């Protein structure tokens, strides 16, 4: 049995269409994540990255295999796994403070006093530099600020695993860079265990301890796992000329745009060979 803090074991996922056809999305996903690790999943669109995250979150149930978090099997959503989506998902009629308060009250109403909960909400909003906007509605703040609130709400739940589903994908480049730096700072302070989905190669290398590269679907799996041996804290400007950073970046690009093509070229050849072999095998039989 794995002693990892988060473990995915032989996870398969298939979806059935209205016509009854079976669509294999994931096949044989195995991944062990240690406590405090920052892991990024990267791959082309449609490779099942978000499906992996939703299975860990308990929002989807795997067709086969399972997920263990801190010794417990995942079979439903729970506060031990907080998700930050690309869409901030704030309730528009609640203020910044109230959006975080809703999560904190849900989890800690019986274990913390009202004063303790208030202090905890303010602490988490200050941590993402949103203490100045407590009483604003989501419509009154920018997209980047909304994501800060979403991150604060997730962290305020004190999750065992923080799940980030392309949290900066809808932001402009400058705002995205600022928020990436904030995540680096917060993860350094708290030592969270983080699983992040991204399309951004630079983001994956900048933030991660390991990058998990997904093969293309159907029946996508883990094609390669790469360590990112860069010291923390990390500075994006200093890393621009770092040979280790650039090697990691090149390794991911090579997998995504060269190794994947080779795999895709091999698949039809194998299928054709199998099809051609069938009449001969039938004749021998």
Quick one: DSSP state of residue 23?
E
- pLDDT by residue for the chain (285 residues), tens digit each? 568 999 999 999 998 877 777 889 999 999 999 999 999 999 988 888 999 999 999 999 999 999 999 999 998 999 999 999 887 789 999 999 999 999 999 999 999 999 999 999 999 999 999 999 999 999 999 999 999 999 999 999 999 999 999 988 878 888 889 899 988 989 888 999 999 999 999 999 999 999 999 999 789 999 999 999 999 888 889 998 999 999 999 999 999 987 666 555 545 444 444 455 544 443 443
Which residue ranges form the domains of the chain, and what is each CATH number? 6-80+159-284 (3.40.50.300)
Residue 242 CA to residue 244 CA, distance in Å, equals: 6
What is the pairing mode between strands 222-227 and 210-214?
Answer: antiparallel
Residue 239 CA to residue 246 CA, distance in Å, equals: 8
Which region holds residue 10: left if phi is over 0, alpha if psi is between -120 and 50, else beta?
left
- State residue 52's pLDDT score: 95
Contacts of 41 by beta carbon, 8 Å cutoff, 6+ apart: 49, 52, 53, 195, 196, 197, 198, 212, 214
Whether the Cβ atoms of residue 231 and residue 60 lie closer than 8 Å to each other:
no
pTM of the model: 0.86
Nearest CA among 88, 82, 120 for reference residue 104: 120
What order of strands is seen across the sheet that includes strand 22-33? 22-33, 6-16, 64-69, 72-73
Whether the Cβ atoms of residue 188 and residue 235 lie closer than 8 Å to each other:
no
Q: Which residues pair with 212 in a beta bridge?
A: 41, 225
């Amino acid at each position: 049995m794995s002693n990892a803090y988060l473990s995915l074991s032989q996870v398969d996922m298939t979806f059935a269409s209205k016509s009854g056809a079976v669509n294999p999305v994931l096949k044989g996903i195995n991944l062990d994540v240690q406590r405090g690790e920052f892991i990024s999943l990267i791959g082309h669109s449609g490779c099942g990255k978000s499906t992996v995250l939703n299975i860990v979150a308990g929002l989807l149930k795997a067709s086969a295999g399972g997920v263990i978090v801190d010794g417990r099997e995942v079979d439903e959503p729970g506060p031990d796994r907080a998700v930050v989506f690309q869409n901030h998902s704030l309730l528009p009629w609640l203020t910044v403070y109230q959006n975080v308060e809703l999560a904190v009250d849900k989890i800690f109403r019986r274990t913390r006093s009202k004063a303790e909960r208030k202090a905890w909400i303010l602490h988490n909003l200050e941590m993402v530099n949103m203490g100045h906007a407590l009483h604003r509605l989501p419509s009154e703040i920018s997209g980047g600020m909304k994501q800060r609130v979403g991150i604060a709400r997730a962290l305020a739940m004190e999750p065992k695993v923080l799940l980030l589903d392309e949290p900066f994908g809808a932001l402009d480049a400058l705002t995205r860079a600022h928020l990436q730096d904030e995540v680096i700072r917060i993860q350094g302070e708290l030592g969270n265990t983080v699983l992040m989905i991204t399309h951004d190669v630079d983001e994956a290398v900048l933030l991660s301890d390991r990058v998990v590269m997904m093969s293309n679907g159907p029946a996508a799996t883990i094609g390669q796992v790469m360590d990112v041996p860069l010291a923390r804290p990390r500075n994006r400007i200093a890393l621009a000329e770092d040979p280790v950073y650039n090697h990691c970046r090149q390794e991911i690009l090579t997998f995504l745009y060269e190794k994947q093509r080779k795999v895709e070229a091999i698949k039809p050849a194998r299928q054709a060979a199998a099809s051609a072999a069938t009449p001969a095998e039938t004749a021998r039989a």
